[in-house]
Amino acid sequence: MIRIPIALLLFFTSAAAARAQVPAWFPDVTHQQKYTQHRASSADPHGANDDWRVIAPGATFDVLDTDGPGVISHIWFTVADDEPYALKRIVLRMYWDDEKTPSVETPLGDFFGLGLGEYVNWQSALLSVGNERGMNSYFPMPFRRYARITATNEGRQPVEKFYFNIDYRTGVQTTDADALYFHAQYRQAQPTPGWTNQWGDNGDPRVDKKANLDGEGNYVWLDAHGHGQFVGVTMSVLQNQDGWWGEGDDMFFIDGAPQAAIAGTGAEDYFLGAWGFGDRPFGYLLYGAPVNGGAYAGSRNSMYRFHLDSPIPFSQSVRATIEHGNANHRSDDYFSVAYWYQTEPHAAFPALPSVEQRLPAIQPVGGPGNSGGAR
């Protein structure tokens, strides 16, 4: 049985040291594979060219429903839907084996890093959005007995054309006894609850000198229980206030420890840029900021970071968080999806906010650049 490791291993393929960046969970193409390859697809079952499905308002469509053992290796979606913020209105869920609650629950766009509800082309080792509006995932998703993926239309209008291809394999050489289950969880704060709006800029001593060692009030990417490993996050920010949004530090609390086992130096540093991300978007294999707005109210930003070089393991629990401003003084809108692997059962997910609550909107929070009332 082939193991499905989470870490991304790089190896060299020739004596001339020609480099190939290949995920270790990809099959070795120099050896004959013994699994059976499958594809669940929206292809016209009658052989014509109507290669899509229509999803009525309020309806749930089964994208994949199959027995195992197996592993999903690739997911592709594209959607034709004229309703504003359709990417926020369609909800993606994934179930493994006999579980009653999903291991993945997130608006469709957010799963692919489109947390502001608009298409942006970007590329990484695991997720990408290509020309035009093609959403791809290469997360390996093992299952032992059963896998189900659904798409639910929570909009007011039908999803006119929902296209999909799910590539998976079954049989031998698929899932070993130690393989963990893939999970992804959506969270948001609209707005994050800044503790004051009585500040002029991020360097104001009233906020810049305030300490935060226990993570109280941090924005939470993930609060999971069991044992497994955190592998990454995509996050989008709609600024309600002027100034650089990213003065907050990342903090990871492992196995119930009261202080962070891992603590960072600022959001741009966690997402592996620097100095407020500069003046342009960027993207690389494991990190990037494909949307990089200015430092003012109304600005939009999207980032990603994948820990494939060193997934963050936990034996009992993990609480992955980030400050919103130094010691949580800012009140911007945050939208995120955390990605991790663990054993089942998983802890209950937070209730998914309603569609109207999910749509990005500037909030009247007061503070620099915002006319909202004081708090």
Report the CATH number that the domain containing residue 119 is assigned in CATH.
2.60.120.1390
Examine residue 71 and state whether it is found in any structural domain, yes or no. Answer: yes
Residue 54, CA distances (Å) to 45, 152, 162, 317 in order? 14, 11, 6, 40
The answer on 196 and 345 residing in a single domain is: yes
The answer on 167 and 49 residing in a single domain is: yes
pLDDT for 21: 54
Cα(205)–Cα(329) distance, integer angstroms: 12
pLDDT for 177: 81
pLDDT for 173: 67
The answer on 328 and 209 residing in a single domain is: yes
pLDDT for 8: 37
- In the three-class reduction of DSSP (H, G, I as helix; E, B as strand; rest coil), residue 205 is classed as helix
The answer on 213 and 165 residing in a single domain is: no
DSSP class of 89: H
333: nearest Cα among 310, 354, 304, 302: 302
DSSP class of 107: E
pLDDT for 12: 30
Residues 6+ apart with CB under 8 A from 117: 85, 86, 87, 88, 107, 109, 359, 360
Examine residue 204 and state whether it is found in any structural domain, yes or no. Answer: yes
Query: Which of the listed residues 155, 179, 203 is the one where a domain comes to its end?
Result: 179
pLDDT for 198: 93
The answer on 89 and 145 residing in a single domain is: yes
pLDDT for 69: 94
| 94, 103 contact by CB (below 8 A) | yes
| 88, 156 contact by CB (below 8 A) | no
First-to-final CA distance of the chain: 59
Strands 141-143 and 250-254: unpaired
The answer on 335 and 237 residing in a single domain is: yes
Where residue 16 falls (left for φ over 0; alpha for ψ -120 to 50; beta otherwise) is: alpha
| 290, 130 contact by CB (below 8 A) | no
The neighbour count for residue 160, using CB atoms within 10 Å, is 15
- In the three-class reduction of DSSP (H, G, I as helix; E, B as strand; rest coil), residue 67 is classed as strand
pLDDT for 7: 38
Burial 344-374 (b: 16+ CB within 10 A, else e): eebeebeebbebeebebebbebbbbbbebee
Number of domains in the chain: 2
Residue-level pLDDT, tens digit, the chain, 375 residues? 434 444 333 333 333 333 345 667 788 899 999 999 999 999 999 999 999 999 999 999 999 999 999 999 999 999 999 999 999 999 999 999 989 999 999 999 999 999 999 999 999 999 999 999 999 999 999 999 999 999 999 999 999 999 999 999 998 767 788 899 999 999 999 999 999 999 999 999 999 999 999 999 999 999 999 999 999 999 999 999 999 999 999 999 999 999 999 999 999 999 999 999 998 999 999 999 999 999 999 999 999 999 999 999 999 999 999 999 999 999 999 999 999 999 999 999 999 999 999 999 999 999 999 986 543
135 beta partners: 77, 129
pLDDT for 98: 86
| 351, 227 contact by CB (below 8 A) | no
Which amino acid is residue 7, in one-letter code?
A
The answer on 193 and 96 residing in a single domain is: no
Examine residue 6 and state whether it is found in any structural domain, yes or no. Answer: no
DSSP class of 81: -
The neighbour count for residue 178, using CB atoms within 10 Å, is 10
The answer on 230 and 167 residing in a single domain is: no
Angle, CA of 119, 251 and 216, to the nearest 5°: 105
| 344, 352 contact by CB (below 8 A) | no
Examine residue 9 and state whether it is found in any structural domain, yes or no. Answer: no
The answer on 202 and 163 residing in a single domain is: no
The answer on 74 and 167 residing in a single domain is: yes
Strands 262-263 and 250-254: antiparallel
Domain holding 256, by residue range, is 182-358
Examine residue 240 and state whether it is found in any structural domain, yes or no. Answer: yes
The answer on 240 and 207 residing in a single domain is: yes
Query: Which of the listed residues 133, 151, 179 is the one where a domain comes to its end?
Result: 179
251 beta partners: 263, 321
The answer on 126 and 80 residing in a single domain is: yes
Examine residue 367 and state whether it is found in any structural domain, yes or no. Answer: no
Query: Which of the listed residues 151, 179, 207 is the one where a domain comes to its end?
Result: 179
Examine residue 13 and state whether it is found in any structural domain, yes or no. Answer: no
| 295, 244 contact by CB (below 8 A) | yes
| 238, 117 contact by CB (below 8 A) | no
Cα(252)–Cα(314) distance, integer angstroms: 10
